[in-house]
């Protein structure tokens, strides 16, 4: 049973963002305004009316043009680990969606960072690397470098449209929804025209878990199969998000998904997700051999309450790692999270990025 915690109008718009329809057509004039605003903003930088800030360390921007979740956070976590393995000291900057930040940027690093302080995704990323947040990404970056001076490369999470920050490498993450109906907000799901993808360095395509899998462990890349022309932009890399472990929120106990599925066979499981694209999580749960009797989709960045979760009629409540970051302090023994890790189609992907970083000039 699938439940959704948002309006019928929202459901209609989300469907039409994929395939078009009357509501999308009615909103099309507003999309022209969005396109005009995007064009004007880019022209101001192109003609020198505004200058992008350059930092003393390289900047990798990871983002997308499709509004909502496409799998950026697991990708960034994988990129952080890969860069550290190759001798870099990465840090992350982000807007900090849903957090009211004052004049000064906020920063943090470690397991105990509260999602209410940094935001959902930044709190997750702060377990793996120093993080600073501010709507002004340059201000966030300067805070990061001041507080964590050993940082040698900055990853700008969801910064593709933030032109005020200079960048050295651009990576766009896309999922199976592609560009939807191809229209800009609000008639479609795009923040920028689809042609923007032609200018990024790498296009990472998050394919469904049930798609034909490449070989190799989830933590490292299998043999290259992309067949992409090395001299063309963007280089396309396939990514699959595969479940790696199940974590009990109260005790911290963890186990492999296969073992977990066997141990909880016959129990009533509710899968919940407050992320940008909940169906992707539900599909991953199913592909892991876990049967959820009900799936409940909440709005992205939803603030869960204990009463809300207690009201779910199930023996087990299974959620995403992002949602779990906000629910760790809850007393409900039924709460579990599923952690995922990316697997890539290109074995040399992270090596290419590292080599590209080494060849950059020093500012």
Which residues sit in the known binding site for ATP? Answer: 66-73
- Structure tokens, 342: 């990316």
Enumerate the β-bridge partners of residue 106.
133
* Residue whose entry in the numeric block shows the structure tokens 């192109």: 46
**Within the chain, how many helices (H) and strands (E) appear?**
11, 14
Q: In whole angstroms, what is the distance from residue 3 CA to residue 357 CA?
A: 45
SS3 274: coil
Known binding-site residues equal: 66-73
CA dihedral of 23, 27, 28, 32, whole degrees rounded to 10: -160
Token pair 């101001």 in the structure block, residue: 44
The answer to whether 297 and 337 have CB atoms below 8 angstroms apart is no
Q: How far apart are CA 317 and CA 270, in angstroms?
A: 5
Burial 203-242 (b: 16+ CB within 10 A, else e): bbbbbebeeeebeeebeebbeeebebeeeeebbbbbbbbb
């Amino acid at each position: 049973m699938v439940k959704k915690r948002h309006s019928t109008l929202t459901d209609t718009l989300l469907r039409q963002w994929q395939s078009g329809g009357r509501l999308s057509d009615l909103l099309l004039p507003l999309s022209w305004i969005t396109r005009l605003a995007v064009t004007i903003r880019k022209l101001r930088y192109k003609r020198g009316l505004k200058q992008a800030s350059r930092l003393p360390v390289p900047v990798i921007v990871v983002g997308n043009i499709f509004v909502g979740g496409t799998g950026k956070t697991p990708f960034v976590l994988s990129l952080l680990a890969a860069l550290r393995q190759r001798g870099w000291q990465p840090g992350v900057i982000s807007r900090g969606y849903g957090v009211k930040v004052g004049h000064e940027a906020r920063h943090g690093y470690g397991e105990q960072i509260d999602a209410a302080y940094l935001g959902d995704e930044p709190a997750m990323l702060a377990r793996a690397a120093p993080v600073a947040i501010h709507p002004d990404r340059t201000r966030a970056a300067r805070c990061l470098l001041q507080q964590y001076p050993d940082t040698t490369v900055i990853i700008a999470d969801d910064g593709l449209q933030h032109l005020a920050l200079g960048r050295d490498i651009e990576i766009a993450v896309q999922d199976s929804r592609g560009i939807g109906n191809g229209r800009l907000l609000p008639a479609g799901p795009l923040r920028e025209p689809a042609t923007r993808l032609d200018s990024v360095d790498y296009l990472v395509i998050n394919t469904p878990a049930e798609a034909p899998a490449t070989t190799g462990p989830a933590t490292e890349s299998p043999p290259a199969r992309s067949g992409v022309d090395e001299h063309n932009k963007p280089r396309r890399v396939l990514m699959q998000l595969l479940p790696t472990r199940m974590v009990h929120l109260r005790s911290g106990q963890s186990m492999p998904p296969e073992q977990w599925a066997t141990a909880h066979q016959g129990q009533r499981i509710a899968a919940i997700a407050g992320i940008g694209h909940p169906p992707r999580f539900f599909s991953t749960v199913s592909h892991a051999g876990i049967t959820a009797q009900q799936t409940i989709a909440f709005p992205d960045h939803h603030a869960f309450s204990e009463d809300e979760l207690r009201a779910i009629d199930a023996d087990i409540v299974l959620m995403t790692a992002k949602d779990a970051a906000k629910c760790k302090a809850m007393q409900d023994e039924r709460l579990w999270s599923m952690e995922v890790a990316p697997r890539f189609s290109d074995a040399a992907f992270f090596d290419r990025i590292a080599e590209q970083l080494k060849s950059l000039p020093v500012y």
